[in-house]
């Protein structure tokens, strides 16, 4: 028979691990990186950004501005007529006019119906 003699430290260590319960992911909650928290704050600011409603333009105005932007390869900022159930206006569509297809205009490979456009601005920046 082999007798193992344990020191006081070994007994304390053995007792600790017999009663230890891991807290799981709770213990890692404080280890967010500063750039991660900064990214989260930026996303929250973007999501909470209130977009102001712009005036409704006529079909002629929209068509003229789209043609001008297409002809001169200028960037446009398009606000659609859509709103969500809370009355929040979605973010504007920003890009270059790539062409036309029937009743649609192509902005950044995305087709947008002419009738859905509320306001268009040519970006000068």
Q: Is 112 exposed, middle or buried (0-12, 13-18, 19+ CB in 10 A)?
A: middle
Digit-coded pLDDT (tens) for 25-80: 665 656 666 777 788 888 887 777 777 888 999 989 988 998 999 899 999 999 98
Helix (H) or strand (E) segment spanning residue 15? helix 8-19
Select from 2.30.30.100, 3.30.390.30, 2.60.40.10, 3.30.420.40 the CATH code of 59-122.
Answer: 2.30.30.100
Tell me the whole-structure pTM to 2 decimals: 0.58
pLDDT confidence bin for 23, thresholds 50/70/90? low
Residue of higher predicted confidence among 4 and 38: 38
Show Cβ contacts of residue 60 under 8 Å, excluding neighbours closer than 6 positions. none
The predicted structure's pLDDT at residue 32: 63
Residue 122 clears pLDDT 70, i.e. is over it: yes
Higher pLDDT, 108 or 22: 108
Domain boundaries, the chain: 8-47, 59-122
Q: Write down the pLDDT at residue 27.
A: 59
């Amino acid at each position: 028979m082999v007798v193992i003699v344990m020191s006081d430290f070994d007994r304390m260590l053995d007792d600790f691990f017999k009663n230890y319960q891991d807290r799981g992911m709770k213990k890692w909650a404080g280890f967010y990186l500063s750039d991660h928290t900064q990214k989260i704050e930026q996303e929250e600011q973007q999501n909470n950004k209130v977009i102001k409603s712009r005036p409704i333009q006529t079909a002629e105005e929209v068509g003229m501005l789209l043609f001008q932007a297409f002809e001169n390869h200028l960037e446009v900022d398009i606000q659609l007529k859509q709103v969500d159930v809370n009355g929040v206006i979605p973010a504007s569509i920003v890009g270059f006019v790539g062409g036309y297809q029937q009743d649609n205009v192509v902005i950044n490979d995305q087709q947008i119906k002419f009738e859905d456009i509320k306001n268009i601005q040519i970006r000068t920046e």
